[in-house]
Amino acid sequence: MSTLKNLYEKMIMAMNVEKLQIPLTAVKIYKNDVEIPKEVKNTFVNDITLTSCQAYKQGYLGDAVLLTAENIGCIAAAISFGLVDQNQDRPFEGSRVYTDVMKSHAENPDEFIPPTPKEFTEGIVYACMDSGRLDFALFGKNDVGRFEKVETAKKAVAEMMAIQPATTQGVFFFNTDFDAIDIIPDVVILNVRPVELTRIIQAYQFLTGERVTANIGPVGAVNSDLIVRPYLTQEINITPYCIGARLLAVLDPNKLGIAFPWKKFEIMVEGMVKSQTGYPFEKYPGANPYSYE
């Protein structure tokens, strides 16, 4: 049994609700100076591209996947992960999920040129109406963009955590079903109902007394808020997800995400085990998702 699976099963058992399952995605970031294990390389696919939120969903569904600059479907995520320089002034080659949505709404799809990483960084893409670049719109000619003004978008992008300069070769998404090798992830993300979030935070605080804060943005929720921010700060973060996660990955509308750096995930699980009688989760209304009483 992998280290990750062992901890997950301890957490679930301590929550004391029959058949309870909490979708989990673990993430390992491989920098340029390390060798990616062959067992991880075997999960790389190049016949499709995936956004980070789609890879996150595939991960908790048990379909492990390695994202690189060759198969990542979201330019913003490529910037956050450090797979590409944020000021690169040429578009990614080939079809990409996120920019293909733009292309599908373009007046002249055959003439569409995808945005560059630099155009994301400078706020031009996310403020497509203000920048006069409706070719970067996701929802057609009436799309006001994700931010009203270019400067607002640029400010928001600057506050999104990113591994820059770009020093990453791959980002691996997996869950407890992956047992080819025992990988200790950098970040563990739980896709939770609000009642589960309550208990999980209580478990962490039982041992630490530390408050948990949420640093939330309207875009980049999975790649920046749930992966890169915990990775760089070593702090827990929570998000209700973003437009890409909701529309492209089609995440459960009743779920949100909480992400742990590995060491704090270990602490939370220990706290879950030790605090069972202080926080009897099975008594919380709605704790059992299979009860319709």
Domains of the chain by residue range? 3-72+174-283, 87-158
Question: Any residues with CB less than 8 A from the CB of 247 and at least 6 apart, and which?
Answer: none
DSSP string, 227-242: IIHHHHH---EEE---
Task: Return d(Cα 282, Cα 271) in angstroms, integer.
Answer: 16
Task: Note the pLDDT tens digit of each residue in 37-95.
Answer: 999 999 999 999 999 999 999 999 999 999 999 999 999 999 999 999 999 999 999 99
Q: What is the largest CA-CA distance in the chain?
A: 63
Q: What is the pTM of this model?
A: 0.96
Q: Is 19 helix (H, G, I), strand (E, B) or coil?
A: coil
Give 163-216 pLDDT, tens digit per residue: 999 999 999 999 999 999 999 999 999 999 999 999 999 999 999 999 999 999
Q: What is the rounded average pLDDT of the residues 240-247?
A: 95
